[in-house]
Amino acid sequence: METSSSEFGLSAIGQIAVTVADLDRATEYYRDVLGISLLFQAPGMAFFQCGDVRLLLGSAVGEAGDQPSHILYYKVDDIHAAHRALAGRGADFVNEPRAVHRTDTQELWLAFFRDLDGHTLALMSEVPV
């Protein structure tokens, strides 16, 4: 059954991204001091599992390194339907939904948008392949 755009609403946060000044130092802190389970690392990023939410630590680049930043990633089952619903209500999307990562079992799709204060938010959908 398809959900109408008036019924759609965001609820579950799937990932939070936090910009850090020193990725190696931050990774050690979150893993060794806080005891959060390190999932994997990629160039400029470290991913941790915090219950049902994934935490992404990312290296600060350029001027972004001067101030802390974050991104909230909202989990959705159908990223295209969610994008249509929110765009139809006036959400300011930076890009259309797109696949950004693929494993043997799934693709990760993202679509970024901004709130009224310019904070970055994202829709995320993990689609079985």
In CATH, 76-129 is 3.10.180.10: yes
Which stretch of DSSP H or E encloses residue 88?
helix 79-88
Residues in the chain: 129
Which pLDDT score, from 0 to 100, does residue 68 have?
Answer: 54
The reply to whether 76-129 shares the fold of 11-66 is: yes
Residue 26 has φ and ψ, to the nearest 5°, of: -65, -40
Over residues 39-73, the pLDDT tens digits come to 999 999 999 999 999 999 998 775 544 555 889 89
- Of 38 and 3, the one with more pLDDT: 38
Q: What pLDDT, in 10s, does the model give residues 75-127? A: 999 999 999 999 999 999 999 999 999 999 999 999 999 887 787 889 999 99
Domain ranges of the chain: 11-66, 76-129
**DSSP string computed for 16-83:** EEEEES-HHHHHHIIIIIS-PEEEEEETTEEEEEETTEEEEEEE--GGGGGS--EEEEEE-S-HHHHH
Q: Does domain 11-66 have CATH number 3.10.180.10?
A: yes
Q: What pLDDT score does 5 carry?
A: 64
How confident is the model at residue 64, as a pLDDT? 46
> Which SS3 state, helix, strand or coil, does residue 87 take?
helix
